[in-house]
Structures are given as C-alpha cells and as structure tokens.
Amino acid sequence: MCGFIPDLVRSAGASPDRVDAPVWALTDLLVEQMSNQGLFELYRRQAEQLAAKNAPAKREVSYAIGSREYAEQQRHLKEGNPQ
C-alpha cells in the first residue's frame, strides 16, 4: 500500500480499489469497537443537541437606506426570495 502510485496504476489499467480493499479489511480486523460505544453515542447526541440549543440566533442584517446593499435587499424582498 505504501508503494501505490496512482498514475502508474491507471496507465496499467488497474483500479485504486485494489488498495482500498486491503485498507478496509485491515480496519475491520484490527480496529476493535469500544465496549461502551452506546453510552458514548448517547453523550455525543446530547452534546450536539445542547450545542444547537445554545447556538446564537441568526441576526438580521440591516443596511443603510440608499446603499447598494439596501437596494439589492429590497429587490430580493419584492421578488419573494429573501436572502
């Protein structure tokens, strides 16, 4: 796997899948699952929910009247597709 050269393999008509297959096989054989994976997943989901709950609210942008940005914003609002 360390000697894999993509350009050389492609020119010979071989596929990079020949490198992927041993990598996935070794991963399945050598990497053990955590004994407490369910608890880890529960805590990960709870942390994700907490982060989403505490995320700052999206602020509304207000441009100065008469600026190009304000005119563009008003055009979008009139068309019915706010940014």
Q: What is the per-residue pLDDT across 30-47, written as a single tens digit (0 to 9) for each?
A: 888 778 889 999 999 999
**Residues 20 and 47 both lie in one domain:** no
Question: Per the confidence metrics, is the pTM higher than 0.85?
Answer: no
**Residues 27 and 41 both lie in one domain:** no
Determine the Cα–Cα distance for residues 15 and 19; give it in Å rounded to an integer.
8
**Residues 26 and 43 both lie in one domain:** no
User: Residues 17-29: what's their mean pLDDT?
Assistant: 81
- Please give the residue range of the domain that contains residue 43: 37-79
Domain count within the chain: 2
* pLDDT of 62 above 90: no
**Residues 42 and 20 both lie in one domain:** no
Residue type, 68: R
**Residues 44 and 71 both lie in one domain:** yes
**Residues 27 and 9 both lie in one domain:** yes
Which among 10, 28, 9 is positioned nearest to 1, based on CA atoms?
A: 9
Tens digit of pLDDT for each residue in 43-59?
A: 999 999 999 888 887 77
Mean pLDDT (the chain, rounded): 81
* pLDDT of 2 above 70: no
**Residues 68 and 50 both lie in one domain:** yes
Structure tokens at 17: 């899948």
Q: How much is the pLDDT for 40?
A: 92
**Residues 22 and 41 both lie in one domain:** no
Determine the Cα–Cα distance for residues 61 and 73; give it in Å rounded to an integer.
10
